[in-house]
C-alpha cells in the first residue's frame, strides 16, 4: 500500500475520528475488549503494537455471528509482521500513520457498498450458516480462494483463516467438515495441496511417530548391521564379529578374519535389538502417539484427510449476493427424477452396458440454472418445487422414456441420455435450454432465466463419479 500524505486536520478525541462522514474508532491496549459498543462505528482501527491484544480483538470482531461486526472494515496501525494467520490476513489494510486516513476511508466506503449487495435471508443448517458467513466475507473482500496456512496453534496444523475464525483452535477439525459440506453443495472446488493424518480418537493432528518393537511396542531399540560370512554361511549381528581390542572382525563360527566387504562377507541388512524385551527383529512397526489425548495407535488406523486449496465455483461466487438453498430433501421427490444415489447406480449400469456394445454411444449432461435463486426470492421458496416440477415435465416431454435425470440441488440437474451421441445431445440441450427459458418467462412475469449446460460422451472405462465430477468442473470453472 502506498503511503499518501493527505493534508488534513484530523482530531482524535476519546479514540474517535470523524473523517469524510465516516466514524472511526481506535482500539488500543487501554481499550475495553468488549466489541458490542462498536456497532455504531463505520470502521475500526486496531493499534497492533501489542500483537496478542490486537489478535484477540480482531478474532472477536471477525468471529462474531452478526454481519454488522464480522464485515466491519478493520485496519491495523503499528503492525509488525506476525506469525498469527488471523491477524495477518483478516484485516482490510495496514497504515503507518493517521495521514493515511483518506486511503482507508476509500476502502471502507467500497466495503460498505459491497455489504449492501449481500443477501441476508436466514439459512437453515449450521454448515450453511458458517459457509454463508464465509462467502459474505469473501464477496465483500473480493477473495476467490480459501488457502490453508500452516499454523502451530491449530490442532490439525493448518488454518483456513476465513473459516477457522469461527472455531476454537481445538475445533479445527470441524473446519474440514464445513469445507467438505461446501464442496458437496458445489460452492467450492478443491485442488489437492497436502495430506494430513489425524488421531482416530480426538481428530488431533499433533502426532509423534516412532519405530517400535513388534513384540512389546517399545521404542527403546538400537540398530546394527547384519553380517553374512560367505565361507561358512554364518549370518549374525556385527557385534558377534567384534572383539574388545581392535577394529578387526572375526567370524564367531569359523574363527576366520573377515577381509573385504563384497569379497568374503556382506552386510545384507540391518537388525534391530529391543532394549526393553531383549528380542531381535528385522522390521519395526510405526506407531503414532497423539500429543492431545495420548492415544498410541498403529499408523494404518490414523484418519487421512486432504488439505485442499478451495476455489469458489460460479455457484459459490453468486451465493453471497443471491443466497443459496441447500440441497435439501425438497428436490429429492420430484416426479420424473431419481435421487442422486440411484442416478449414480443407473449410470454405473449404463457404463457396463456400453462396455459390452462399444458402437453404442450414450451421453451425460449437466444443466445449471444460474440465477434461479433470484426467481425463488421473487416468488417465494414454496414455489420452488412447482418451478422444478414444470421444468422436469418439459424436459420429460422432449427426451426418451429410457433417459434418466436427478437434481444435485435446486439449481443443478444431471441427465443421462441413452443411445445419444455427443452431437445429438448438444442439439437436444440447446433446444431444451430455449424451451425452459420460454417456459419460465411465460409463467413467471417475464423472468429471464440464465441456463448453462455441458455434455459429454459417457466413457466406458471411467468411473461414473469421476465423469460427473469432470463435467461439473467444466461447467463451473
Interface with Zn ion by CB under 5 A: which residues? Answer: 199, 201-202, 204, 213, 215-216, 218, 229, 232, 234, 251, 253-254, 274, 276-277, 290, 292-293, 295
Q: Looking at residue 22, what DSSP letter applies?
A: E
Which residue pairs, CB below 8 angstroms and at least 24 apart, start in 15-22? 17/45, 17/98, 17/101, 19/101, 19/102, 19/105, 20/102, 20/105, 22/105, 22/108, 22/109
316, 128 in Cβ contact below 8 A? no
Report in angstroms how near the CB of residue 287 gets to Zn ion at its nearest.
13
Report in angstroms how near the CB of residue 159 gets to Zn ion at its nearest.
19
Report in angstroms how near the CB of residue 425 gets to Zn ion at its nearest.
50
Between residues 217 and 339, which has the closer beta carbon with respect to Zn ion? 217
Sorted by sequence, the CB contacts under 8 Å of residue 286 that are 6+ apart come out as 209, 210, 211, 212, 298, 299
Between residues 152 and 254, which has the closer beta carbon with respect to Zn ion? 254
Which sign, positive or negative, has the C-alpha torsion 163, 168, 169, 175? negative
Sorted by sequence, the CB contacts under 8 Å of residue 303 that are 6+ apart come out as 197, 198, 199, 200, 203
Report in angstroms how near the CB of residue 199 gets to Zn ion at its nearest.
3
Report in angstroms how near the CB of residue 251 gets to Zn ion at its nearest.
3
Between residues 130 and 251, which has the closer beta carbon with respect to Zn ion? 251
Between residues 111 and 251, which has the closer beta carbon with respect to Zn ion? 251
Cα(46)–Cα(337) distance, integer angstroms = 54
Q: Tell me the C-alpha to C-alpha distance, in Å, between residue 140 and each of 108, 321, 464.
A: 11, 10, 37
Report in angstroms how near the CB of residue 25 gets to Zn ion at its nearest.
42
Rg (CA), the chain: 32
Between residues 141 and 253, which has the closer beta carbon with respect to Zn ion? 253
Which residue pairs, CB below 8 angstroms and at least 24 apart, start in 69-73? 69/35, 69/38, 69/39, 70/133, 70/136, 70/137, 71/111, 71/115, 71/136, 71/137, 71/140, 72/38, 72/41, 72/43, 72/44, 73/42, 73/43, 73/44, 73/104, 73/107, 73/108, 73/111, 73/112
Between residues 215 and 344, which has the closer beta carbon with respect to Zn ion? 215
Report in angstroms how near the CB of residue 247 gets to Zn ion at its nearest.
18
196, 157 in Cβ contact below 8 A? yes
Cα(95)–Cα(5) distance, integer angstroms = 11
Between residues 15 and 276, which has the closer beta carbon with respect to Zn ion? 276
Report in angstroms how near the CB of residue 175 gets to Zn ion at its nearest.
17
Between residues 94 and 234, which has the closer beta carbon with respect to Zn ion? 234
Report in angstroms how near the CB of residue 462 gets to Zn ion at its nearest.
38
Between residues 213 and 468, which has the closer beta carbon with respect to Zn ion? 213
Amino acid at each position: 500500500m502506498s503511503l499518501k500524505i493527505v493534508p488534513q486536520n484530523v482530531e482524535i478525541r476519546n479514540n474517535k475520528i470523524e473523517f469524510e462522514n465516516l466514524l472511526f474508532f481506535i482500539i488500543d491496549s487501554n481499550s475495553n475488549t468488549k466489541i458490542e459498543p462498536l456497532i455504531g462505528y463505520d470502521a475500526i482501527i486496531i493499534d497492533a503494537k501489542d500483537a496478542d491484544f490486537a489478535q484477540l480483538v480482531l478474532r472477536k470482531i471477525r468471529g462474531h455471528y452478526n454481519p454488522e461486526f464480522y464485515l466491519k472494515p478493520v485496519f491495523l496501525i503499528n503492525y509488525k509482521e506476525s506469525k498469527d494467520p488471523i491477524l495477518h490476513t483478516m484485516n482490510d489494510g495496514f497504515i503507518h500513520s493517521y495521514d493515511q486516513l483518506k486511503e482507508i476511508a476509500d476502502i471502507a466506503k467500497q466495503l460498505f457498498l459491497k455489504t449492501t449487495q449481500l443477501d441476508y435471508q436466514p439459512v437453515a443448517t449450521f454448515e450453511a450458516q458458517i459457509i454463508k458467513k464465509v462467502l459474505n466475507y469473501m464477496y465483500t473482500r473480493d477473495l476467490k480462494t480459501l488457502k490453508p496456512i500452516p499454523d502451530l496453534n491449530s490442532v490439525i496444523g493448518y488454518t483456513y483463516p476465513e473459516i477457522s475464525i469461527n472455531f476454537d483452535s481445538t475445533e479445527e477439525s470441524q473446519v474440514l467438515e464445513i469445507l467438505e459440506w461446501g464442496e458437496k453443495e458445489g460452492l467450492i472446488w478443491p485442488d489437492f495441496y497436502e495430506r494430513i493424518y489425524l488421531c482416530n480418537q480426538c481428530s488431533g493432528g499433533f502426532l509423534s511417530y516412532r519405530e517400535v518393537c513388534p513384540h512389546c511396542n517399545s521404542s527403546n531399540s538400537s540398530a546394527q548391521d547384519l553380517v553374512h560370512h560367505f565361507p561358512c554361511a554364518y549370518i549374525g549381528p556385527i557385534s558377534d564379529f567384534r572383539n574388545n581390542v581392535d577394529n578387526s572382525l572375526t567370524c564367531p563360527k569359523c574363527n576366520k578374519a573377515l577381509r573385504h566387504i563384497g569379497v568374503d562377507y556382506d552386510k545384507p541388512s540391518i537388525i534391530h535389538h529391543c532394549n526393553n524385551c531383549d528380542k531381535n527383529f528385522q522390521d519395526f512397526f510405526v506407531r503414532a502417539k497423539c500429543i492431545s489425548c495420548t492415544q498410541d495407535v498403529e499408523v494404518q488406523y490414523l484418519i487421512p484427510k486432504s488439505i485442499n486449496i478451495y476455489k469458489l465455483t460460479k455457484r459459490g461466487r453468486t451465493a453471497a449476493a443471491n443466497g443459496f438453498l441447500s440441497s435439501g430433501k425438497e428436490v429429492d421427490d420430484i416426479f420424473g427424477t431419481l435421487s442422486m444415489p440411484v442416478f449414480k447406480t443407473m449410470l454405473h449400469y449404463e457404463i457396463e452396458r456400453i462396455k459390452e456394445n462399444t458402437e453404442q454411444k450414450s451421453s451425460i449432461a449437466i444443466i445449471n440454472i444460474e440465477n434461479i435463486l433470484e426467481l425463488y426470492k421473487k416468488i417465494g421458496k414454496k414455489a420452488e418445487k412447482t418451478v422444478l416440477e414444470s421444468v422436469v415435465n418439459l424436459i420429460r416431454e422432449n427426451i426418451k422414456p429410457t433417459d434418466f435425470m436427478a437434481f444435485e440441488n435446486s439449481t443443478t440437474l444431471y441427465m443421462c441420455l441413452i443411445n445419444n451421441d455427443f452431437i445429438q445431445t448438444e442439439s437436444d440441450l440447446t433446444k431444451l435450454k430455449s424451451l425452459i427459458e420460454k417456459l419460465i418467462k411465460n409463467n413467471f412475469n417475464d423472468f429471464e432465466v440464465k441456463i448453462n449446460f455441458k455434455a459429454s460422451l459417457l466413457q466406458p472405462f471411467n468411473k461414473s463419479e469421476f465423469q460427473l465430477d469432470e463435467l461439473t468442473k467444466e461447467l463451473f470453472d
